Amino acid sequence: MPVKKGTVYLVGAGPGDPGLFTLKGAACLSRADAVVYDHLISALILDHAPATAEKIYAGKTGSKHHLEQEDINRLLVELAARGKTVVRLKGGDPYMLGRGGEEAAALKAAGILFEVVPGVTSAVAVPAYAGIPVTQRGISSSLTILTGHEDPTKRSSHIRWDILAKSGGTLVILMGMQNLPLITALLLKHGMKPGTPAAIIRDGTLPTQFTIAGTLKNIAKKAGEAGMTAPAVIVIGSVVDMRRDLRWFDLFPLFGKRVLVTRAGSQAGSLERLLIERGAQSVRFSSIEIRPMRGNRELDRGISDLKNYDWVAFTSVNGVEAFFRRMGELDMDSRALGGLKIGAIGPMTARALIERGITADYVPRVHTGEGFISGLTKKAVRGKRFLLPRADIADDEITAGLKKLGATVDEIAVYHTARPRSNRARLKDLLLPGNLDIITFTSSSTVTNLLAGLDSAEIGHIGAKIACIGPKTAATARKAGLKVHVLAKEQTMAGLIEAMQDYFRKEA
């Protein structure tokens, strides 16, 4: 039987900030067999695709094309002809100067089903992130978006520069950096006022965003002096002056800060998203790896014996995931916890339980082992039996505290923490002064593992600020020879972000 042809989704990935990716785009990626993606697509967007999906880079940068457009068209047809669900992931919007129409035409000619998922275009989003509304009542009621890629002096140009120069509206020029001097000269020649406000935004919506503002007469010179390069969006019109009052993105306390994320790769995304939302540039270097415990007979006995416990206390999201994963493998679910009291250290752990249909009976106000025990002093736990599923390297603070309160504790390691294989040369380069602004540590093991293999001199030369999620992590960092600059008041990812913001506000 012939293979049924697949479907191709032409999906706009937006201008760069992964938070601007659409829900429909994410849904398409989640069921993709193959992803053909452009240059500068965020790894956080690609994370929506299944791990098993084939990922094919088809980026273009200036004159350098990893794949020519004809090759991309052919590749999409070939993948779909093999029955694959294909996502063609394009920067911005597929049909906004993105050659998506050519890809759609090729698919149509080959009899391949396709859908178009529009994306947020950089023509609107990038000026907005720079504090420039592309239209404004009483200032500009029209918007013209055009490519600056073609030579504006060639006779065959379809762009009517003479009309644009007199339009009175906002001009947004994409892919125009190379021809900027010619473009401004042409607009001046056709009568646009030399004092017309103009701006160039490089790396728009990203933590590396950089904006210069001037006038039509001097913007090309300013761009040269500032070393402006693509990718950049050029905005010309009176609305540019509104940036003085409407700037917001580049005023974030963490804007442009390079932050090292040392969490396990599977968990780094939550912290990275919070950093990106606040304008920081996340740099991932996982110093810890979470692995399931194989052949864990002790856990199996604990799960089988749940009816004989009074409490199950979870100390981390990892513990919740490992515990419920094994319950599922044993053909059990949350109903097995009926009648038990459930404890959780911290809101993230509590949320992980809620996602599995369990509302924790007890979450301490202070999200530490000490805080957990302190809150239990008001509860009748003497003589109660606790099951404590946790990491293999966890200390005995909670166990000792529960026993002191008169409880019986069965502590079971449900996941293994290890130092992953990593590029130590890359790490040493990252830790050189000036390469990072801040290093985040979310557990003592992230500290120990990151610094393993570094000598005291190398540790002493680390110039980045150190941010720790809690006092135990901070104590480990100090013991290793690091100065802790930031300590979260609330031991959560959000608390860590807030502490970093407070630190840089005070430093400003």
CB 256 within 8 A of CB 191: no
E strands in 130-278? 143-147, 170-174, 197-202, 210-215, 232-236, 258-261
Rg (CA), the chain: 28
Report angle CA 304, 305, 310 to the nearest 5 degrees: 135
Give the pLDDT confidence of 418-452 residue by residue, as tens digits.
888 777 888 888 988 889 999 999 988 899 989 98
**DSSP assignment, residue 171?**
E
Give the integer Cα–Cα distance in Å for 418 and 457: 25
Separation of alpha carbons 14 and 18, rounded Å: 8
Tens place of pLDDT for every residue, the chain, 508 residues?
567 899 999 999 999 999 999 999 999 999 999 999 998 898 889 999 999 999 999 986 655 567 899 999 999 999 999 999 999 999 999 999 989 999 999 999 999 999 999 999 999 999 999 999 999 999 999 999 999 877 656 666 678 999 999 999 999 999 999 999 999 999 999 999 999 999 999 999 999 999 999 999 999 999 999 999 988 999 999 999 999 999 999 999 899 999 999 887 767 778 888 998 899 999 988 888 888 777 788 888 999 999 999 999 998 888 999 999 999 999 998 899 999 999 998 888 999 999 999 999 999 988 888 888 988 888 888 999 999 998 887 788 899 999 999 999 999 988 888 888 777 888 888 988 889 999 999 988 899 989 987 888 889 889 999 999 989 899 999 999 999 999 999 888 889 999 999 999 988 7
State the catalytic residues.
38, 60, 175
pTM: 0.79
Q: How far apart are CA 81 and CA 83, in angstroms?
A: 5
Determine phi and psi for 244, rounding to 5 degrees.
Answer: -60, -35
Domains of the chain: 7-120 (3.40.1010.10), 124-249 (3.30.950.10), 258-288+420-507 (3.40.50.10090), 291-418 (3.40.50.10090)
The rounded distance, in Å, linking the Cα atoms of 279 and 263 is 19
